[in-house]
Structure 1
């Protein structure tokens, strides 16, 4: 594996160097490509090399066998099978990984996993993003990448044959470093990060370093070595570079001192150094193509010292090592994880022993993906990542609850369907497994190894199907029930004996089914669908304890489960309920029906029973109950709210007083002390989400039986998922077009968008690699909706038609335990359009105010213009017509004085004078109506008083005036005011000239927005309905109708007259 990897390194570097300089890195001044494509002589060399590799492979296989023997015999080393029972989560093409041959793996500050190899791959547990050579606007310049490192700011740096670059999320691409003065960086390998801001790397310029903050590159004095493969920085600040040909170069940047350490192979040739690491005791672990050695960093001096000796690790002799990683163990000691071509090794640094080798196991669905491990990496969450030739593997120490074994691969049966497991009483490492499709199996539980299988029970039975129950009596015999018979296996001889049918079967019309066999004292208690029978192996006799024979007894004696309280008392669960049976006396008591004190419904079938001291736990058809043996009362199990409890087939109680049961939703664990629960499904390691086969104990472990596998868990070390998923926004789209962004900046600095960019979409995820399908999400857009929106497992959100403004998109995630993370933020500012800006709105307000002011000024000017017209008309009427009428009147008076002698002229001139007088009064009224403001009520009422007084006094008629004092009243229109005054004049004139009244009363008052005019006289009266040739009454009605006023006349001959006018005064002028 390392030879292939090195060849890829060398070819890529040689091609890059030759394309730029015309020179080659290869020995003897010819290129690697020429070596691969050479002539016949080179082909012969390749054949020889191939044979040599085959030889080495054979030797390494032998060494591996010796290694396993050494590990098994080591005093402190754990057995390989036990150590290999770790749970790995494997990712491959089914998870979207396009390429499987990954080399290095790192995790950035956002939580993404980055993999090197053919391009760069980014992985979040569910989705991948592959960056290939030349793809995108800011692409990689090399197809093959090797070294990856993440600096303290979370930036990913990549090295390879194309030079040195880093990933910039704001452009979703790669930025290459500008060449230093010494020349262009053509390749970059063997990274070493000091944990601050300096990365050391090897290039065509020699050993260099780059400041990750300023991107300044410095070239050291160390050069002249070829094919760098690995590097580290020791506690003294020295840089160690492992090469393919030149051993290890040690450089001290403080004084420029250089030192070469030759790492020998067993045959004396210099070894290639593909990987190195340093531990807390300053021991440098050095990988070779054949084995591994250690060097004391404190013993390595700056000066050359040919006497330096490496310490060998015999346990790893001849093993091809590819990488190292360190994780703390539960005891606090360091555990070194070693990537090799033969699996992932676990090495205890304190004891110096190999504790286990992890390789693929066909019977373990959660074993590592491949034995060919290219690299190993420990992330900040304490998880171990391994890159293999078949994909990516993850080992989380906090997610080791469930362990599984696939029985199918052990039995070669397609669907064994496990029904029952019984523990061997003579050897606690052995269990007996009853199946539906593979008979009876003997299985080493500790070593996870199949020992024997028994399918041919007798000549009648062609294969052992439906072994429902298995029990070991501790006397070298295993009893099991198959259909309606019991069988006995002699463990020593392997022979199986069949026993007669149960005596209860003849009492029923259907075939019996044996459900459970338990050992009570020296007899077997056999629960079946026809009742309870005991069998005494010593006498060979059956005894019927509890059974019937009528059709009404079918449910009562159809036993589903049985548990022993003592040597004589059994509790049985049936289709009809719960029954207590005394084996000694044969007496039984049913705790069902309306007369039973337990309150159990009669047909509430009991599927499963479990005994716990004074309590029985019952899994019934509809509920789970707790039955007190002392008080004989049942009550529902005290479960936290929301606990799924439908279709329960079994319930167990562990020693910590916690419940375990299988439901329609999965395996449910209820922590009674904390009042919470968890639901385990296939995502945690179960073969299926739910099993209809009861759970059971094997030693101190609870076993879940599936169709083809056994899954077990230690209930006393259940690891709650305390890992809070790390949320991250993975994509941002505007109008469905991706927009690159920098996750580190958008949380503290707003991204400005145009007003048309208001259709936004976000993709997000959370890093929960062990249970990714159980992560739940919630989000909100502050500034638009302050409430959190639960999206469940959906990992996207879309917002449409957002108005301009400041927004903060927040997203958080919860793990399978319901623990929520802190939200991540994405700040957005949608700029308003110019017509939505405050300045534009202010300008618009000013424009509207200006327009209103212009309209106001126009109205004022029009009113002034109208008033000027009125004044001019008034002046014209007064000056021209008034003066003319006055002249006529004067002439008329003079004529009358001069012609007093003539009696005929005088009456005519008198009539003319009277007409001219009336014309002057009318003209005066017109001028008054035009020239007086419409809102001047006082002037109107005063004019009415003057007119009434003048007319009535001239007629010598007593009168009374009662006018209300006007308040702040609306104006009348000019027409209505004129009509009101003319109606008043006509009424007063009629009263003075035609009524013959001796008293006239005139009243005006204001009421509810109306003016009421009332004129009353005690004159002769008249009939208002009688025909009349005069127009006065008709004109008054027309004027009242014009102003929508109410006009009424009450009169009769000899009864006087009352005129009543009611007019609205809320009309606009």
Structure 2
């Protein structure tokens, strides 16, 4: 063991000092930064630049503005550009209504959110809700505007060559006063409604209550380039010779240091934290209570004039510098190191002690500490010649694990340090100590690379553990949990010493890998474990891993927790953060796992394989060693980022852009529709996530996507509404939706007018076909009726000429015989009886012949009468359940129809009595306007399906009924089930059933029905 002491020293290697001299003057950031932090050195801001290579077509940036919907507008020498964070889109008013915009001089956004554009070759334009309108009427007589600015209470303030000062609103122009005698080049309005006018030659004027007064005293120069009103009623005045301030009483010149004297101020903006930013002829200048600071530029861009300035809704500063658009912003991480070196600068272990000193050990060797602008190198005990692998501390003691020098304790007395070292000669396992951990009981554990761990108790190496206890003799990390147990990480898993008992954890227990690089004790009692295959934690003896997330794919080299409860993770390839509470609760949302890049303040996203390469300090910040510098989380930055504003920017229909003005229509027969949208988050547009839905087609929202377009194919005609929502880089979803309603036009054959015409045509064709069918059926029926009429006539003639004449002849002979017999003859009575019978038969025969030859509907009984007389053919017991019902007004039937319907009905009723053993039979006769209906219902035994379809063998009743119905052109239904009775329904179309039906017509063939 050896001891030594040393005071602060400034001797160290040149490359290390060059790195450390770039550290910030102010390291501690308090509260939530709402704008660009004015306490930061200018070099610590993140500077981004866009030019022609990124799509910005500029000659020079003259003006910058942001509308409330989130778009950034850039006025350049080549026109007006709109920027959504990812791409620039030129914007021009519709032609030929307006002349094209060639050069934009000024931009202003009024309280209503409208964008006012002052162009060199065009009149003042107003852009609102996607439409350009003329902002300045042509008949006002003004040929050219010289300056514009938003009015305090709305509208726009403007100055012109002829009219001078004026106030422009959508309702018209209000003239303030005739010209002041010089060219007006700037205008502004303070909160007391005073209008300020800046001239090119004679200074500043103010207009209030109808009075114009010069403000000469105190103005630094007579050329007033720009004016900036403040929320408290003051006015900043930018001139060709410095800065002035109207303080409510008078104008005073702001004193500048000698290096800023006689500075030409071209643009101004005051951020929400009251930092005043000045665009000057020599670059960008920041002015606040701490003084003035230049934005340092490289030799090529040094002394370039800044002509446009703007603070966006996130608090970032945008400015136009030469031919490019640039942005300054705070970052969630601040990185220190020599950015000019191609290889960067690597730091290893880091530690922040109780006195606020930040201890650093570069990979190349040495030990340094920093506090209050001063950086010190420690040379005690040869530390400047050795590589420090690990740093830990307790109270005034700092414990160092060294590559060659063993275990060293630095004891501080103020800023004076005393060194004491333990080596192999003092019982240390070996002199190469990779990990050091000071436990709460005052002892110190030292983990070596090849000989296990040593335990220093009360200044002596008390015990040495070896491979008989530890899974491996290489100790990569040591940690103490809340219960006092010691955890040892190695390439063969984790060993836990609790009291005197040991426990091993590995892949069999749920760890993603046996190789463990880092450990972190959680205040909630869990132990975080970083392995070669991702992150895990041990809680109450159970191992939980994150194999299915980004945290379960890369080697975890270090971990730390900040004051917001975010777990920061350094892997071999990325720097992540995730809510610790959500991870422990198992509610891991991939959207809340954030990966950081150079745009967040890092110079490298690669972690460093050193014990305690990620540490916490007393202020709740996390320090992270990376491949190109040391980074620290910035308190408050990015805590409450505004949500991204979703917009539907364009619809592409089969490769052609659709006009989004007015009623949006997509041409018919479109095969592919592409919706292009954006989420306006200028700070991190590439991290915006989206969900979308097409109302009228989609049933639910889409999955979370990163792409900026949605594709639909073969949408049917109709009205739709496309909706999109966006989430910022923190996973915060905006309740506001971007939406666009549109209509897919139908083809000619899909239009309702065409479909209605087709329906009407089809209806007329159907009616024509029906009538032709009815005429055909009637003609066919008439032909059959004619044949039957001829046959009946022949039969009647034959009966008359043969059978009837024979009966008459026989009757005459019987009369002669009866008269020849005496009246007393017993045969006389018999002959008289025979004669009476023969007379009755002859009379009936005559009537039958007459019926065969002619039919008189008025002299025949009605159908219902025929059906009622059927009871005479059955027993009285069977007739008790028989009912005949007539509905509708009686109508005369065609003779053949009368005969066929009566026979079908008779067959149905007789079958119900004779074959179905029915107790109740109902006959329903319906005289309807469109048909003649007959329904016979019984409660008999019924029939099976086969009998209904094909009839019963040896019986022809059902078949005969179907044939008669078919012959008439009628529809017959037989509905029956075994044990459930039978229902027979006959429907005869009116044109066939009734001779006076107009559908049947008054044809010659139809008249033949009346012969029956």
User: TM exceeds 0.5?
Assistant: yes
1:592 matched to 2:504: yes
- Secondary structure of the residue aligned to 2:335 is strand
Between the aligned partners of 1:923 and 1:299, the Cα distance in structure 2 is: 134
Change over 3 Å in CA distance of 1:105–1:836 after alignment to 2? same
1:126 matched to 2:86: yes
2:593 to 656, 673, 679: 679
Q: Specify the alignment match of 1:374 in structure 2.
A: 307
User: Is the 2:219–2:244 Cα contact (8 Å) retained in structure 1?
Assistant: no
- Secondary structure of the residue aligned to 1:469 is strand
Change over 3 Å in CA distance of 1:174–1:545 after alignment to 2? farther
- RMSD of Structure 2 on Structure 1 (CA): 6.3
Between the aligned partners of 2:141 and 2:723, the Cα distance in structure 1 is: 47
User: Is the 2:725–2:735 Cα contact (8 Å) retained in structure 1?
Assistant: yes
Cα deviation code 1:389-441 (max 9, x no counterpart): 47444456xx64322234453xx36154433224589x855532332xx4447
Shift of 1:105: 1.1
Between the aligned partners of 2:365 and 2:165, the Cα distance in structure 1 is: 67
Cα deviation code 1:358-415 (max 9, x no counterpart): 44599xxxxx99985433223455443333347444456xx64322234453xx3615
Q: Specify the alignment match of 1:354 in structure 2.
A: 291
Shift of 1:545: 1.7
Shift of 1:457: 9.7
1:239 matched to 2:184: no
User: Is the 2:536–2:545 Cα contact (8 Å) retained in structure 1?
Assistant: no
Shift of 1:778: 1.6
Shift of 1:680: 3.1
Between the aligned partners of 1:434 and 1:822, the Cα distance in structure 2 is: 49
Moved more, 280-289 or 705-714: 280-289
Shift of 1:123: 0.9
Shift of 1:472: 8.5
Cα deviation code 1:507-548 (max 9, x no counterpart): 9xxxx964224578798835323212479999xx98872224
1:741 matched to 2:670: no
User: Is the 2:396–2:411 Cα contact (8 Å) retained in structure 1?
Assistant: no
1:276 matched to 2:233: no
Between the aligned partners of 1:527 and 1:768, the Cα distance in structure 2 is: 49
1:527 matched to 2:460: no
Between the aligned partners of 2:367 and 2:131, the Cα distance in structure 1 is: 56
* Gap runs ≥5 in structure 1: 1-67, 70-77, 301-308, 363-367, 628-632, 901-913, 949-960, 969-973, 986-1000, 1012-1040, 1049-1058
Cα deviation code 1:429-463 (max 9, x no counterpart): 5532332xx44474747659898999x999xx9xx
Change over 3 Å in CA distance of 1:651–1:637 after alignment to 2? farther
1:693-704 matches, within 5 Å, as 693=609, 694-698=613-617, 700=619, 701-704=621-624
2:707 to 761, 786, 794: 794
Between the aligned partners of 2:44 and 2:279, the Cα distance in structure 1 is: 16
1:772 matched to 2:685: yes
User: Is the 2:136–2:168 Cα contact (8 Å) retained in structure 1?
Assistant: no
Q: Specify the alignment match of 1:104 in structure 2.
A: 63
User: Is the 1:477–1:489 Cα contact (8 Å) retained in structure 2?
Assistant: yes
Between the aligned partners of 2:790 and 2:959, the Cα distance in structure 1 is: 32
User: Is the 2:645–2:681 Cα contact (8 Å) retained in structure 1?
Assistant: yes
Cα deviation code 1:1024-1050 (max 9, x no counterpart): xxxxxxxxxxxxxxxxx9x976555xx
1:418 matched to 2:347: yes
Between the aligned partners of 2:324 and 2:958, the Cα distance in structure 1 is: 102
Shift of 1:619: 0.7
1:807 matched to 2:762: no
Between the aligned partners of 1:213 and 1:727, the Cα distance in structure 2 is: 28
Between the aligned partners of 1:432 and 1:356, the Cα distance in structure 2 is: 29
User: Is the 1:424–1:432 Cα contact (8 Å) retained in structure 2?
Assistant: no
1:207 to 164, 172, 175: 164
Q: Specify the alignment match of 1:619 in structure 2.
A: 529
Change over 3 Å in CA distance of 1:385–1:673 after alignment to 2? same
1:402 to 314, 333, 341: 333
Q: Specify the alignment match of 1:561 in structure 2.
A: 477
| TM-score with structure 2 setting the length | 0.66
Shift of 1:739: 3.1
1:707 matched to 2:620: no
User: Is the 1:240–1:248 Cα contact (8 Å) retained in structure 2?
Assistant: no
Q: Specify the alignment match of 2:320 in structure 1.
A: 387
Q: Specify the alignment match of 1:149 in structure 2.
A: 108
1:572 matched to 2:492: no
Cα deviation code 1:747-772 (max 9, x no counterpart): xxx54566557864322112112222
1:337 matched to 2:277: yes
Between the aligned partners of 1:236 and 1:476, the Cα distance in structure 2 is: 62
Change over 3 Å in CA distance of 1:926–1:472 after alignment to 2? same
- Secondary structure of the residue aligned to 2:702 is strand
Change over 3 Å in CA distance of 1:234–1:1063 after alignment to 2? closer
User: Is the 1:874–1:927 Cα contact (8 Å) retained in structure 2?
Assistant: no
- Secondary structure of the residue aligned to 1:882 is helix
* Gap runs ≥5 in structure 2: 1-23, 26-35, 815-840, 886-895, 922-946, 967-1012
Moved more, 864-873 or 191-200: 864-873
Change over 3 Å in CA distance of 1:313–1:657 after alignment to 2? closer
- Secondary structure of the residue aligned to 1:773 is helix
* Count of aligned pairs between the two proteins: 841
Shift of 1:719: 4.5
1:667 to 567, 576, 587: 576
- Secondary structure of the residue aligned to 2:240 is coil
User: Is the 2:401–2:432 Cα contact (8 Å) retained in structure 1?
Assistant: no
1:4-15 matches, within 5 Å, as none
Q: Specify the alignment match of 2:833 in structure 1.
A: none
Between the aligned partners of 1:497 and 1:445, the Cα distance in structure 2 is: 23
Change over 3 Å in CA distance of 1:230–1:636 after alignment to 2? farther
1:1004-1023 matches, within 5 Å, as 1004-1005=914-915
Between the aligned partners of 1:614 and 1:223, the Cα distance in structure 2 is: 72
1:194 to 151, 159, 183: 151
Shift of 1:708: 0.8
Between the aligned partners of 1:205 and 1:569, the Cα distance in structure 2 is: 85
Q: Specify the alignment match of 1:23 in structure 2.
A: none
- Secondary structure of the residue aligned to 1:153 is coil
Q: Specify the alignment match of 2:1008 in structure 1.
A: none
- Secondary structure of the residue aligned to 2:682 is coil
Change over 3 Å in CA distance of 1:791–1:668 after alignment to 2? closer
Change over 3 Å in CA distance of 1:479–1:944 after alignment to 2? closer
Between the aligned partners of 2:608 and 2:962, the Cα distance in structure 1 is: 88
User: Is the 2:351–2:615 Cα contact (8 Å) retained in structure 1?
Assistant: no
- Secondary structure of the residue aligned to 1:180 is helix
1:248 to 192, 200, 203: 203
Shift of 1:290: 3.2
